[in-house]
Amino acid sequence: MNAQTLILPDGRQALMRRATPEDAEGIFLLYQAVYEGTYTLPIVNLREERRAALSDPGTLWLVDEIDGRIVGSVIFSVDGAIRCGKVFAAAVVPECRRGELMFETLRAGIDHLLYQDGSVDVIYATTRTQSVAPSRLLRKLGFVSMGIFPNVHRLIDYETHGLMAIFHPAAWEKRSRPPVLIPEVNGFYEIVRDTFGLEPAQIEAVTDRLKLHVTRGDEARHEYERLRAAGELVWYFFPFHRPNLMFSTESGSVQAFLNREGKDGHGVVVGLKIDRESVAHLEHVLEVVFDTACTLGIEYLEILVDAYSPKHQRAALTAGYLPCGYFPSFELQPDGQRRDYLILAKTMAPLNFSNVQMTPRDRKFLDVYLLNTEFRNLVVQMSGTGSHGED
């Protein structure tokens, strides 16, 4: 990707370019300045992970530089096997926010991955909701909101994040259809369906203790890779995450693979192996996986559930994992079909929306989320929630 010169409103010139390992220290100083030491992602905070990402051809890390100082940064991770990208960790110093420095940097990265290089069919992002500026910026670039994650991360306080994505036309051409959903999660699909003109879902109503041992580190990752290669995983899809924890029964009839990074109690289920007998008790398995995760300090656990497996959706919902979003055409399978996924999460933290600003569309996702909680009959007051001129 070629470097570009961008002109700021005050006439200064910024060089937008692909970062190199030599930029590692300057990038770290940028995030320290912008987030005042509260940023949690290891890819930014840890020197070895930062340098590894800057050397990784599957990572497009763009920076903006003025007079030798890095003033802006954003990361695009790419999984070529599923033709999916993730954009995250956008940061720009306050004095450069009035222009369109980050907008142009994001646009260049998106255009490169979707069209010039053509390595992905879809790019997604999660956005902070303390202001509408991040989601407004992405909408301006063509992103569409897909869901909402209440209390997903903790910097100073717990934060609610939004899920947004942008699609290349090819993402829709081989999408599996229709999804088969349980009634409680269909509301998320209906919001997405209305945006993209998708077909109605097929609705199926699905009628709601193990002891797990914990293994950490490379052993967990190697076992996950072995089982995935052998086709023995019931769940195996969570892009850009590698397991560093394994929960398993003594017999090996149940093996859950999790990723936990950072200090904020956030984890994801990367893979799950269960034998035929345990499949009937998937709800109980998911409950025990969460309980075991809590003993390790994980307070928020995400899972991706196939949109064509209503029994798995029911098990997750009954186990207390609440739907947060609907991602169409997310996974590219070996046969060329793209499959939809639901994102669900379970949390120990009380819901708190006191510092949330969102658009009416994001409020729709929150309303469907609340329908599956004990707050379904309450009106939640959120500061700053309104039209903002957005839909």
* Euclidean distance between CA atoms 181 and 55, whole angstroms: 41
* Euclidean distance between CA atoms 323 and 346, whole angstroms: 9
Predicted pLDDT of residue 359:
85
Tell whether omega for the bond before 178 is within 30 degrees of 0, i.e. cis: yes
pLDDT at 164 over 90: yes
Predicted pLDDT of residue 379:
41
* Euclidean distance between CA atoms 357 and 132, whole angstroms: 6
Domains delineated in the chain: 4-173 (3.40.630.30), 183-366 (3.40.630.30)
The more confidently predicted of residues 60 and 383 is 60
What does pTM read for this prediction?
0.77
Average pLDDT of the residues of the chain = 89
Across 328-355, average pLDDT: 90
Q: Which position has the token pair 């379904």?
A: 376
Single-letter amino acid code for the residue at 255: Q
Lowest-confidence region among 32-41, 71-80, 318-327, 375-384: 375-384
Predicted pLDDT of residue 70:
97
Please check whether residue 351 is in contact with residue 175, taking contact to mean a CB–CB distance below 8 angstroms: no
Lowest-confidence region among 7-21, 86-100, 168-182, 372-386: 372-386
Q: 202-218: b or e for each residue (b if 16 or more CB lie within 10 Å)?
A: eeeebeeebebeebeee
pLDDT in tens, 73-101: 999 999 999 999 999 999 999 989 887 99
Predicted pLDDT of residue 111:
97
> Strand pairing of 84-92 and 69-79?
antiparallel
Predicted pLDDT of residue 152:
58
pLDDT at 369 over 80: yes
pLDDT at 325 over 60: yes
Phi, psi dihedrals of residue 84, rounded to the nearest 5°: -130, 140
> Strand pairing of 4-7 and 13-18?
antiparallel
Q: How many residues does the chain have?
A: 391
At 326, the pLDDT band (50, 70, 90 cuts) reads very high
In the numeric block, which tokens belong to residue 382?
């959120």
The more confidently predicted of residues 108 and 151 is 108
Residues contacting residue 235 through CB under 8 Å, at least 6 positions apart: 269, 271, 272, 303, 304, 305, 306, 312
Residues contacting residue 47 through CB under 8 Å, at least 6 positions apart: 24, 28
Q: Which position has the token pair 């052998």?
A: 230
pLDDT at 262 over 80: no
pLDDT in tens, 226-252: 999 999 999 999 999 999 999 999 989
pLDDT at 156 over 80: no
> Strand pairing of 180-181 and 158-167?
unpaired
Predicted pLDDT of residue 265:
87
Reported as type and span, the H/E element at residue 3 is none
Residue 319, classified by CB atoms within 10 Å of its CB into exposed (0-12), middle (13-18) or buried (19+), is buried
Predicted pLDDT of residue 390:
54
The residues that bridge with 339 in the sheet, in sequence order, are: 331
* Euclidean distance between CA atoms 83 and 232, whole angstroms: 23
The more confidently predicted of residues 331 and 208 is 331
At 391, the pLDDT band (50, 70, 90 cuts) reads low
pLDDT in tens, 275-324: 876 667 899 999 999 999 999 999 999 999 999 999 999 999 999 999 99
Percent of the chain with pLDDT over 90: 71
